[in-house]
């Protein structure tokens, strides 16, 4: 019937207008690399099914892959042979798991009717059930104004030295991220969970478009994603921008966006110890070994261990009614008044992991009731790193 043909033709035009005709060919390695980079953002358990999907868009010899959980998004791209430009959405986890199992070579992806997507590679032929492109949320575009270029290696170090000190308590909203502090000549990052605080600063940087001080609170989830992207990129710089609601990070051809954390970060400068004049310097490896051994016998809930400083020795001990007691002694120069102070062993281990098991650690104290300050004993280091822990009553 002619009327039916006309109807089909009209629907075909509509499909093309929505860019629905997608047909591409891409190397498995290139596709898998970009799918891997976007995995962290995909919602596993979501009440909004479209968030479990990747958006794939193809035009001008490239495909763009987008994933979002509404709080954050990653958009990445790769070269591809685009036979027909268009777009589709594909279940992210299923696509990733399937592509991983294919042999190297070219993969063709073609959009079929009813949002089904055909994937062919060698002798493998699979059809996956997608969803309508129109359901996929709008992802914010990277702005062109007030972009700052941050050295990737410096940012990676800042995150590694602070991310573990971020609070996990949802109720402490402003502590669920780290504060990035940009100045024209330096960058710093600080994180705290109320029991400990990690602060790191790198001076001698030249940051464009930064005048005065620019403070930005970055959510933990975004920092973890940034950490992952930075470890899988050889980009030398990260382009950073923000607007009223969103943070933007461009690393090479990948863009991470994150919803901003609002609220006032605590006055961290007021917490920094000023007069911790008793100190001891210990090899990091020795201290780590002692704490790990002794912590086996600490109270499971508190993880509390005792540091006792006496003439030229540091004693680390713990005891609990359930598991027993343990003590390790490290010989090291110490000539101040004797001191006994308790700390959460996990917090100390986090610090020693962050500075690496090389070199020496400097432990600075005032008394048993005041916060201890810990830092790497390395005068040549370009990074100033300080880690402050509140003491525990034992």
Q: Round to whole Å and give the CA distance between 139 and 144.
A: 16
Phi, psi (degrees; rounded to nearest 5) at 227: -60, -45
Q: Round to whole Å and give the CA distance between 394 and 74.
A: 46
- For residue 76, the model assigns a pLDDT of 97
Does residue 377 share a domain with residue 292?
yes
**Cβ proximity of 24 and 81 under 8 Å:** yes
Does residue 75 share a domain with residue 101?
yes
User: Which CATH number do you get for residue 221?
Assistant: 3.10.150.10
Enter the tokens of residue 196.
Answer: 């400990």
Average pLDDT on 296-309 reads 95
Please state, for a pLDDT cut of 90, what percent of the chain lies above it: 81
- For residue 373, the model assigns a pLDDT of 97
Most confident of 38-52, 100-114, 260-274: 100-114
Q: Is residue 5 a part of any domain in this protein?
A: no
- For residue 380, the model assigns a pLDDT of 64
From 266, 296, 317, give the residue that closes a domain. 266
Sign of CA dihedral 90, 92, 98, 101: positive
Sign of CA dihedral 98, 27, 34, 20: negative
- How many structural domains compose the chain? 3
Nearest CA to 153 out of 37, 33, 251, 255 is that of: 251
Beta bridge partners of 257: 73, 248
Question: CB neighbours of 233 closer than 8 A, spacing ≥ 6?
Answer: 152, 251, 252, 254
DSSP string, 187-231: EEEEEE-SSEEEEEEEES---TT--SEEEEEEEHHHHHHHHHHHH
Confidence of residue 108 (pLDDT cuts 50, 70, 90): very high
The model's pLDDT over 243-294, given as tens digits with 9 standing for 90+, comes to 989 999 999 999 999 999 888 899 999 989 999 999 999 999 999 999 999 9
From 86, 105, 135, give the residue that closes a domain. 135
Confidence of residue 7 (pLDDT cuts 50, 70, 90): very low
- For residue 16, the model assigns a pLDDT of 37
**Cβ proximity of 174 and 266 under 8 Å:** yes
Does residue 80 share a domain with residue 126?
yes
Does residue 99 share a domain with residue 35?
yes
Q: Is residue 43 a part of any domain in this protein?
A: yes
Q: What is the CA radius of gyration of the chain?
A: 27
From 108, 135, 162, give the residue that closes a domain. 135
Question: CB neighbours of 301 closer than 8 A, spacing ≥ 6?
Answer: none
Confidence of residue 379 (pLDDT cuts 50, 70, 90): low
Collapsing DSSP to helix, strand or coil, 129 comes out as strand
Neighbours of 79 (CB within 10 A): 11
DSSP structure class, residue 366: S
Does residue 223 share a domain with residue 171?
yes
Q: Is residue 145 a part of any domain in this protein?
A: no
Does residue 239 share a domain with residue 186?
yes
Count of residues in the chain: 394
Q: Is the pLDDT of residue 299 over 70?
A: yes
- For residue 326, the model assigns a pLDDT of 97
Report the chain's mean pLDDT, rounded to a whole number.
Answer: 91
Q: Is the pLDDT of residue 225 over 80?
A: yes
Domain that holds residue 348: 272-389
- For residue 1, the model assigns a pLDDT of 40
- For residue 184, the model assigns a pLDDT of 87
Collapsing DSSP to helix, strand or coil, 328 comes out as strand
- For residue 69, the model assigns a pLDDT of 94
The model's pLDDT over 136-179, given as tens digits with 9 standing for 90+, comes to 999 999 998 889 999 999 999 999 999 999 988 777 767 889 99
- For residue 59, the model assigns a pLDDT of 95
- For residue 4, the model assigns a pLDDT of 38
Does residue 298 share a domain with residue 251?
no
Beta bridge partners of 190: 179, 199
Collapsing DSSP to helix, strand or coil, 344 comes out as strand
Range from 38-52, 85-99, 127-141 carrying the lowest mean pLDDT: 38-52
Question: CB neighbours of 269 closer than 8 A, spacing ≥ 6?
Answer: none
- For residue 20, the model assigns a pLDDT of 62
Does residue 107 share a domain with residue 28?
yes
């Amino acid at each position: 019937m002619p009327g039916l043909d006309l109807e089909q033709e009209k629907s075909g035009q509509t499909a093309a207008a929505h860019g629905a005709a997608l047909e591409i060919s891409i190397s498995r390695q290139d596709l898998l690399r970009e799918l891997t980079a976007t995995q962290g953002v995909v919602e596993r358990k979501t009440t909004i099914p479209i968030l479990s999907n990747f958006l794939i868009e193809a035009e001008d010899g490239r495909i763009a892959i987008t994933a979002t959980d509404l709080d954050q998004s990653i958009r990445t791209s790769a070269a591809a042979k685009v036979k027909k430009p268009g777009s589709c959405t594909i279940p992210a986890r299923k696509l990733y798991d399937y592509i991983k199992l294919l042999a190297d070579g070219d993969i063709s992806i073609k959009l079929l009717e009813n949002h089904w997507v055909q994937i062919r590679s060698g002798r493998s032929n699979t059809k996956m059930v997608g969803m309508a492109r129109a359901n996929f949320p709008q992802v914010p575009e990277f702005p062109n104004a007030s972009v700052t270029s941050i050295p990737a290696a410096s940012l990676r170090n800042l995150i590694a030295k602070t991310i573990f000190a971020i609070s996990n308590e949802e109720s402490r909203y402003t502590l669920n991220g780290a504060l990035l502090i940009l100045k024209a000549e330096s960058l710093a990052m600080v994180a705290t969970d109320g029991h400990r605080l990690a602060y790191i600063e790198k001076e001698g940087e030249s940051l464009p478009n930064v005048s005065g001080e620019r403070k930005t609170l970055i959510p933990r989830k975004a920092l973890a994603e940034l950490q992952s992207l930075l470890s899988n990129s050889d980009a030398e710089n990260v382009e950073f921008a923000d607007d009223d609601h969103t943070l933007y990070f461009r690393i090479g051809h990948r863009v991470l966006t994150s919803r901003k954390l609002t609220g006032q970060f605590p006055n961290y400068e007021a917490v920094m110890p000023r007069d911790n004049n008793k100190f001891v310097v210990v090899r990091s490896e020795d201290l780590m070994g002692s704490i790990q051994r002794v912590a086996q016998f600490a109270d499971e809930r508190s993880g509390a261990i005792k540091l006792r400083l006496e003439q030229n020795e540091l004693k680390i001990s713990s005891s609990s009614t359930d598991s027993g007691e343990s003590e390790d002694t490290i010989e090291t120069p110490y000539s101040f008044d004797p001191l006994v102070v308790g700390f959460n062993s996990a917090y100390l281990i986090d610090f020693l992991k962050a500075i690496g098991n090389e070199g020496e650690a400097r432990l600075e104290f005032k008394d048993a009731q005041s916060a201890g300050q810990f830092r790497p004993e390395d005068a040549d280091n370009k990074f100033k790193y300080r880690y402050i822990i509140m003491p525990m009553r034992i």
